[in-house]
Amino acid sequence: MERSLKVLEQQRTVATPVRSDEQAAASRLRRILGERLLFVLFVAPNLLLLAVFTYWPLVVNVYLSFQQWDLISPVKVFVGLENYRFLLGDRDFHEVLRNTVVYTAGTVGGTLVLGLLFALLLDQRLRGIALARSVVFAPYVLSGAAVGIFWVNMLNPRFGVVGQVASWLGTVSPDWLNHPRLAMVAVILVSIWKTVGFATIVYLAGLQRIPQELYEAAMVDGAGALARFRAVTLPQLGPTTLFLVVVSTIASFQAFDLIKVLTNGGPVNATTTLLFYIWEQGFVAFNAGRAAAASVFLFVILAIISLLQVRIGERRVSYD
């Protein structure tokens, strides 16, 4: 033991006969500095892009939320918290927040439930299942504007397919997209139609990853189909579900193209969601301050939701 150490020591002194402690420290520093430099070099381009196109606008946005500005005038008027005070007390803004919650809950809920249902159906080994999977997934790859125009025509009560179907049933179709309550229902249904394919594919992948022996063990324990679904399938899909909830929630908060084409936020404000409202205030009414303040609300809401989802994810979802 002692000898071997000595030998090692000797070897070291032989290997670096002239190197002093200072030199060793310097080389270590150089190495560390070199690594740091390399790190900075690798990260800088990305960081710069983020700084210029994400963080800086964020800072400017917060600054603008304290101003009254029409996007053109050289004069920006400082108004303090007025824009926030206005939004908090504005009935239209309350409706917009309500719409956002309804739209998000409806779209995310509908997409997940239907997506799981389709995934379970498509998990069967049947003839033509590949085609069926493609059909379910297809709308997801279409552009929102194209889907919007397609459904505007479908939902036209007088010349659209729904009008035709209604007349076969001996009734008249409501004007879905121009109805105070049905407009939101229609927008949610079209959104689900467009995004359910994505949820289905992700769930399908999740289903196929569940080990078969869990089902076999459950069957040995005498669990029926429903019990197997509740005790094995659902918990095993936990991480998949969490991923889908996060992704779909963010996507529905960002929904714009579909709403713009389908209803333009109307009738009145019936389908105006937070993002649409921000666009409307900023680029239709040219009220930069109010749009910026509303953006801060959106930022805070999304931050809270993300945080909640991560927390829930840590506690409830098992990755085993």
Partner 1 sequence: MTRSLTRRRFVLALGGLSGAALLAACGQSEPTPTAAPASGSTAASPTVALASGTGTTSPTAPAVVQNTGSKVKVLYWGSYSGTLGEAEQALVQRFNESQNEVELEYQYQGSYEETAQKLTQALAAGTTPDVVLLSDVWWFKFYLNDILLPLNDLFAANGIDTSDYVDPLIEEGTRQGTVYWVPFARSTPLFYYNKQIWQEAGLPDRGPATWDEFVEWSGQLVKREGGNTTRYAFGHPSAASYIAWLFQPVCWQWGGRYSDPDFTIRIQEEPAVEAGRFYLASVRDGMAVPSQDLVADFVNGAVAAMMASTGSLGGILRSASFPVGTAFLPEGPAGFGCCTGGAGLAILKNKPQEVQEAAFRWIAFATSPESTMWWSQNTGYMPVRKSAIASAEMQRYFEENPNFKTAVDQLPKTRPQDAARVWIPNGDQIIGKGLERVTVQQEDPATVFADVAQTLEREARPVVEQLKRREG
Q: What does the alpha-carbon distance between residue 104 and residue 184 come to, in Å, rounded to a whole number?
A: 11
Binding-site string for partner 1 from residue 265 to residue 284, where x marks contact by CB under 8 A and - marks none? -xxxx-------------xx
146: contact with partner 1 by CB under 8 A: yes
**Closest listed residue to residue 107, CA positions, set 201, 198, 189:** 189
Q: How many residues bind partner 1 (CB under 8 A)?
A: 42
| Cβ atoms 123, 138 nearer than 8 A | no
Of the pair 238, 266, the CB lying nearest partner 1 is at: 266
Tokens at residue 311, please? Answer: 């927390």
Whose tokens are 């069957």? That residue is 219
From 41, 141, 220, 226, residue interacting with partner 1 (rule: CB under 8 A): 141
179: contact with partner 1 by CB under 8 A: yes
- Our CA angle for 199, 203, 209, nearest 5°, is 155
| Cβ atoms 114, 235 nearer than 8 A | no
Of the pair 90, 216, the CB lying nearest partner 1 is at: 90
Of the pair 178, 309, the CB lying nearest partner 1 is at: 178
Provide, rounded to whole angstroms, the least separation between the CB of residue 246 and partner 1: 26
Of the pair 28, 181, the CB lying nearest partner 1 is at: 181
Provide, rounded to whole angstroms, the least separation between the CB of residue 288 and partner 1: 10
Tokens at residue 214, please? Answer: 């869990």
Residues 246-265 that bind partner 1 (CB under 8 A): 264
Q: What does the alpha-carbon distance between residue 86 and residue 296 come to, in Å, rounded to a whole number?
A: 14
Distance of CA 209 to the CA centre of its chain: 23
Q: What does the alpha-carbon distance between residue 82 and residue 19 come to, in Å, rounded to a whole number?
A: 68
228: contact with partner 1 by CB under 8 A: no
The count of residues in the chain is: 320
Provide, rounded to whole angstroms, the least separation between the CB of residue 179 and partner 1: 7
71: contact with partner 1 by CB under 8 A: yes
- Give, as one character, the DSSP assignment of residue 177: G
Question: Containing H/E element for 67?
Answer: strand 67-68
Based on C-alpha coordinates, what's the Rg of the chain?
29
- Return the range that interacts with partner 1 (CB under 8 A); candidates 2-10, 41-49, 56-64, 145-153: 145-153
137: contact with partner 1 by CB under 8 A: yes
Tokens at residue 43, please? Answer: 């990260």
Of the pair 133, 241, the CB lying nearest partner 1 is at: 133
24: contact with partner 1 by CB under 8 A: no
Amino acid at 246: V
150: contact with partner 1 by CB under 8 A: yes
Which parts of this chain interact with partner 1 (CB under 8 A)? 68, 70-73, 77, 130-131, 133-135, 137-138, 141-143, 145-147, 149-150, 156, 158-159, 170-172, 175, 177-180, 264, 266-269, 283-287
